[in-house]
Structure formats: structure tokens, C-alpha cells
Amino acid sequence: MSEHLTEPQAQAPEQSGTWSGWGNGIIIGVLLGLVGAFLQAKTWTIGPITIPIWALVLITALAVFCRAMTTTYGSRRSAIVLYASWLIVTILLASPMPGGDIIIGAGAAQWFYVFGGVIVGAMIVSLPARLGPQEQVEVTVEED
């Protein structure tokens, strides 16, 4: 009696996305963190509702760049480097500086930017490099 089973095909170790992906991830992450620190406080007020429009735009940009890095380099490592760079810059700019200045304050839009970026970035970075059905390999098991 023979049974046919399908198992996911083993993937070769990923070799792409190393130094160039990490370098690009650091540069883009630092730039997103710096630009985001200064633009995230801009809001739109429509009647009694205040919308943190730039925080939404910057969180979306973080998600798009993280996913683009994963897709471009075929590895999540470059996206993790980008996300970590953004997070480090954001945390540093949200901390009091030696002169007492704080770039990212403690308002609702600022908290939305920081926590929204952390949550959305972590979700995007944790997605697999390839979305969709995986290649299947046919396995034949014969019983004696």
C-alpha cells in the first residue's frame, strides 16, 4: 500500500539581504526616525475630531519600507534592521536631551506615533518573506 503525502519543500538558507540590505535598512530606518520625530505632531482638525495625519502617513511609510526591504532582499533580516534603526532613533528622540529638550513630546498624537509604529512595524517584520502558497513536494511512503 502506498500513500502520497505532500510536505513543504525545504528552502535553501537565504544568502541575500546581508550587507547591502543591512546598510540600506540602517539608512532608511534612521531617516524615517528623524523625519518622523519632527513631522508626527502635525494634525488635522475636522470639527471636534483631531486626526494625527502625519503619524498615520509615517506609520504607513514604515510598514511599506519594511515590506519592501523584505521583498527586495528576500529576507526579513534587512527589514528587521530597518525597524530596529527606526525604533532606536525614535526612542532616543523621545528621551530628554542633555539640554532638557524632548523632540517627541507626550501628547496623544506622539503616543499614537510611537506605539502605532512599534505595533505595525513588528507585525510587518514578522510576516514571512514570501506570502502565498508554498511549493509542495510529493512524498511516497510504502508499507511492507
Report the C-alpha gap between 76 and 70 in whole angstroms: 5
pTM here is: 0.75
Q: What would the pLDDT profile of 46-92 be if each residue is shown by its tens digit?
A: 999 888 999 999 999 999 999 999 988 888 888 999 999 999 999 99
Where exactly are the structural domains of the chain? 22-129
Report the chain's C-alpha Rg in angstroms: 21
Q: What is the dihedral of CA 72, 75, 79, 82, to 10 degrees?
A: -90
Helices (H), the chain: 19-39, 53-73, 77-94, 108-125
